[in-house]
Amino acid sequence: MFLKFSQITFFYFLLLSQVNGAESGGMPQLNPEFWFSQIFWLIITFGFMFVVLSKLVLPKISENLETRKAQISENIESAEKQRLESENKIKEYNKLILESKNEAKNYFNQAREKILKDVDKKRENLEKEINEEISKAEKEIEDLKNKSPDKVRKIAIETSSDLIKQVIGVDVNNSSISAIVEDISRKRN
């Protein structure tokens, strides 16, 4: 069929070439001398190129493209994964920092409370001691106060008896002196 087809075109163009062939041989394209040679070599070269391209070269190129695509998408995936991971790690880190901050606050609070308690206790103790001391001192003062008139009287009696002895040179009865001292102190009061 193909041969017949080419024969028809052959004769068609042969006719054309005869029409145009008046000047300088016409178009070389319409000279059928080498048509079969051209067809033959076209089939051989194109066929060879087609077979080699389709069997060896093109699959390789397509494979290269596929692997590149796969590699790029893989890389993107792993980058995404790592991003997520790092985000998680940042979250963890923030959490850890928050926790440790809270812990530190707790420790601080506990220590403060403890110190405050200690201080309170010590102050209480101190106040107690001071109060005790004060009360003791007050008691002593009271005692001293209570005892002082007698002593003063005694001292007065003694000094007055001594005075009298030195001035006059007479031993005076202590009882009489004491009566006088009492009398004076009463008057004074």
Partner 1 sequence: MYQFNVYRIGPEIKIGEIDLSFTNASLFMVISSLAVLIIFNLGSKKSSLIPNRIQLLAELSYTFVSKMISDTAGSKAKPYFSFIFSLFMFVLFCNMFGMIPYAFTVTSHIIVTFVLAAFIFIGVTVIGFIKHGFGYLKLFVPSGVPVVLLPLIVVIEVISYLSRPVSLSVRLFANMMAGHTMMKVFGGFVISLGVVGGWLPLGFSVALTGLEILVAFLQAYVFAILTCIYLNDALNLHH
Element (H, E) at 22: none
The verdict on 40 binding partner 1 (CB under 8 A) reads yes
- DSSP-based three-state secondary structure for 68: helix
Distance CA 20, CA 27 (A): 8
- DSSP-based three-state secondary structure for 26: coil
The verdict on 134 binding partner 1 (CB under 8 A) reads no
Task: State which residue, 48 or 107, has the beta carbon closest to partner 1.
Answer: 48
Task: State which residue, 71 or 148, has the beta carbon closest to partner 1.
Answer: 71
Sequential DSSP letters for 118-157: HHHHHHHHHHHHHHHHHHHHHHHHHHHHHHHHHHHHHHHH
The verdict on 39 binding partner 1 (CB under 8 A) reads yes
The verdict on 35 binding partner 1 (CB under 8 A) reads yes
The verdict on 76 binding partner 1 (CB under 8 A) reads no
> Binding residue for partner 1 (CB under 8 A) from 4, 22, 37, 150?
37
Task: State which residue, 20 or 88, has the beta carbon closest to partner 1.
Answer: 20
Are 181 and 153 in contact by the 8 Å Cβ rule? The answer is yes
| Binding site residues, partner 1, CB under 8 A | 2, 5-6, 9, 13, 24-25, 27-31, 33-43, 45-46, 48-50, 52-54, 56-58, 60-65, 67-68, 71-72
